[in-house]
Amino acid sequence: MIILNNDQEKVCIITGASSGIGKATALLLAQHKFIVILISRNSYELNSICNDINSSGGIASYFSVDLADSNSVENFVHTISKSYKKIDVLINNAGDMQPSPIESAKFSDWENMVTVNLLSVAKLTKLLLPLLIFEGGGNIINILSTAAYEAHENFSIYSATKHALRAFSESLRKEVQASNIRVTCLSPSTVDTHLISKINDTSMKLKSQEYIKNIEPLHTNDIAESIIYIINLEDRVQINEVVIRPMPRKRTYQS
């Protein structure tokens, strides 16, 4: 683990950074000269990503944090607060998706989605606000989903958490904009990430794998580039909500 403090560089914390959108965003932000602080439970992958960034001239550090564990979150913030006076960007990307019919759903899956997708975001944001407010504000980007706007069968609690996170983000935006903090909800449609592989319900996993075969999902770098755009906006501009969907597959016409 590397802990560096460079007041001349912007500092970004990314949750769920060991793969998918989080990993792609970390690599791209490092190329744009951000100091990136990566958190996830998968310390092996985080170490590999940080080694790649640091060996290429970037600055990256990582922490193994269980966002479902309040003590783990508090310990992380305590450590960061001792090493950094200011955080410029917080990207709440970590999430859990466990689709299932309501009738056969497991309460433990519901509880974990509510904790990871909503409560942990609220807690980490609350604890890091003093570092974001310090000397001029910054950006909070919450990664949601198009499920924040429409509910589908078998995705009841997942969609509920994303709807709730959207409401939390809007309340947060109104509270912190006077401190020059911009809050953005970034809601992608299907992205080619690891989430499907972590679905516990076997039948739902197979359905999801079959579904993704028949579409052209967004790439993780599509989302990372959108994040760069949001962060680099002039201070007078804030984008509150972004919905990203893939274009339909190109049709082949025969003459």
Do 215 and 246 touch, CB atoms closer than 8 A? Answer: yes
Catalytic pick among 84, 158, 211, 229? 158
Q: pLDDT at position 216, please? A: 77
Per the structure block, which two tokens stand in for 164?
């709730």
Cα distance between residue 84 and residue 36, in whole Å: 12
CB within 8 Å of 218: residues ≥ 6 apart: 188, 189, 190, 191, 192, 244, 245, 246
Band of pLDDT at residue 255, cut at 50, 70 and 90: low
Flag whether pLDDT at 3 surpasses 80: no
What CATH code is assigned to 11-244? 3.40.50.720
Compute the CA torsion angle 72, 75, 79, 81 (nearest 10 deg). Answer: 110
Q: Which pLDDT belongs to residue 19?
A: 93
- In whole numbers, what is the pLDDT of the chain averaged over residues? 90
The single-letter code of the amino acid at 132 is L
Q: Which of 28, 34, 39, 42 is nearest to 12 (CA)?
A: 34
**Complete DSSP assignment for the chain:** ------TTS-EEEEESTTSHHHHHHHHHHHHTT-EEEEEES-HHHHHHHHHHHHHTT-EEEEEE--TT-HHHHHHHHHHHHHH-S---EEEE---------GGG--HHHHHHHHIIIIIHHHHHHHHHHHHHHTTT--EEEEE--GGGT---TT-HHHHHHHHHHHHHHHHHHHHHGGGT-EEEEEEESSBSSSGGGG-S-HHHHHHHHHHHHTS-PBPHHHHHHHHHHHHTS-TT----EEEE-PPPPPPPP--
173-197 tens-digit pLDDT: 999 999 999 999 999 998 876 777 7
Is residue 17 scored above 70 in pLDDT?
Answer: yes
Confidence (pLDDT) at 6: 44
According to DSSP, the β-strands at 182-188 and 35-40 are: unpaired
Q: Domain residues of the chain, as ranges?
A: 11-244
| Dist CA 81 CA 85 (whole Å) | 7
Q: What is the pLDDT of residues 195-223, one digit of tens each?
A: 777 777 788 878 777 777 667 788 999 99
pLDDT tens for 19-49 read: 999 999 999 999 999 999 999 999 999 999 9
Beta bridge partners of 13: 37, 90
pTM score, whole prediction: 0.90
Whole-angstrom distance, CA of residue 240 vs CA of residue 158: 21
Is 44 a residue of the active site?
no
